């Protein structure tokens, strides 16, 4: 229970990586603010955590809206007193070729994946600075490092922005003893990625099972991530063992990208 007495705020925590990370942080001892745009999903996760004697708070918030972010942060502090760990996980995408993307696609993706990450980081950091302590973990993607299998170019650009933001934020918040790192998942079994898999299978005239087999064969370790694989890295970066790691973008991808 090395995160005992710590408070974590997890965005996009209703399913996938966010749900797995919220669960793993709670199991490590943290109290968790479970944030999702879908109030029912957030409540479901918080209820599940509470059933296992973990302190949890469900918050419905739209991270693309700054006023909603501010209410999210205020609500967490009102309940738990502070925020020690921020996991910026909320994200959106869709499978599309570069010539198919629209202005609406660009705005929707960057509103959540880039703008949302920045203003969540800024709002939470504002509460961490007076205490001279904090861990901020951003979920980026190997798509932001040039992975050819990215769902689309706008998504790749948004995740590249997260990687760059992580480096600059780490430099500018280090004086306040705030660590800022990014995790770059590769292929991960989530509702979002499975929806993209079904689109790819349809486009290529394959069954979903055949497409999944083909996808696994491109990964050196021959397996896609489970959300728990990414959650394990989240817990490590939140732990005392990662106290001197900052400004890094760490891949969890089975060897797809080597850097």
For the chain, domains (ranges, CATH) are 7-188+226-252 (3.40.50.720)
Residue 191 in this model has a pLDDT that exceeds 80 = no
What pLDDT is recorded for position 99?
98
Helix/strand number for the chain, H first, E second: 9, 7
In this prediction, residue 9 has a pLDDT band, given cuts at 50, 70 and 90, of: very high
What pLDDT is recorded for position 259?
86
What pLDDT is recorded for position 1?
84
Catalytic positions are: 155
Global confidence as pTM: 0.94
* 178-185, strands of its sheet edge to edge: 56-60, 31-36, 7-10, 85-88, 134-139, 178-185, 249-252
Residue 210 in this model has a pLDDT that exceeds 90 = no
Each residue's pLDDT tens digit, 216-226: 888 999 999 99
Could you give the percent of the chain with pLDDT greater than 70? 99
What pLDDT is recorded for position 213?
80
Each residue's pLDDT tens digit, 124-167: 999 999 999 999 999 999 999 999 999 999 999 999 999 999 99
List b or e across 159-191, with b for residues whose CB sees 16 or more CB atoms inside 10 angstroms.
bbbbbebbbebbeebeeeebbbbbbbbbbbbbe
Longest dimension (CA), the chain: 56
In this prediction, residue 7 has a pLDDT band, given cuts at 50, 70 and 90, of: very high
SS3 sequence of 174-192: HHHCEEEEEEEECCECCHH
């Amino acid at each position: 229970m090395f995160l005992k007495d710590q408070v974590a705020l997890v965005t996009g925590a209703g399913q996938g990586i966010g749900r797995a990370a919220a669960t793993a942080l709670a199991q490590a001892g943290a109290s968790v603010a479970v944030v999702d745009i879908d109030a029912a999903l957030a409540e479901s996760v918080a209820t599940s955590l509470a059933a296992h004697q973990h302190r949890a708070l469900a918050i419905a918030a739209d991270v693309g809206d700054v006023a909603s972010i501010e209410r999210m942060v205020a609500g967490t502090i009102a309940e738990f007193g502070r925020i020690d760990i921020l996991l910026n996980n909320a994200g959106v995408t869709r499978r599309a070729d570069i010539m198919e993307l629209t202005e609406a696609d660009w705005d929707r993706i960057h509103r959540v994946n880039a703008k949302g990450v920045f203003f969540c980081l800024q709002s939470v950091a504002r509460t961490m600075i007076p205490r001279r302590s904090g861990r901020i973990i951003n979920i980026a993607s190997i798509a932001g490092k040039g992975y050819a299998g990215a769902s689309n170019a706008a998504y790749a650009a948004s995740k590249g922005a997260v990687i760059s933001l992580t480096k600059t934020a780490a430099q500018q918040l280090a004086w306040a003893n705030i660590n800022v790192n990014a995790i770059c998942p590769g292929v991960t079994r989530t509702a979002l990625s499975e929806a993209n898999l079904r689109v790819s299978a349809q486009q290529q005239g394959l069954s979903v099972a055949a497409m999944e087999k083909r996808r696994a064969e491109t990964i050196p370790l021959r397996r896609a991530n489970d959300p728990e694989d990414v959650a394990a890295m989240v817990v490590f970066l939140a732990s005392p063992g990662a106290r001197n790691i900052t400004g890094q973008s760490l891949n969890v991808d089975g060897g797809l990208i080597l850097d």
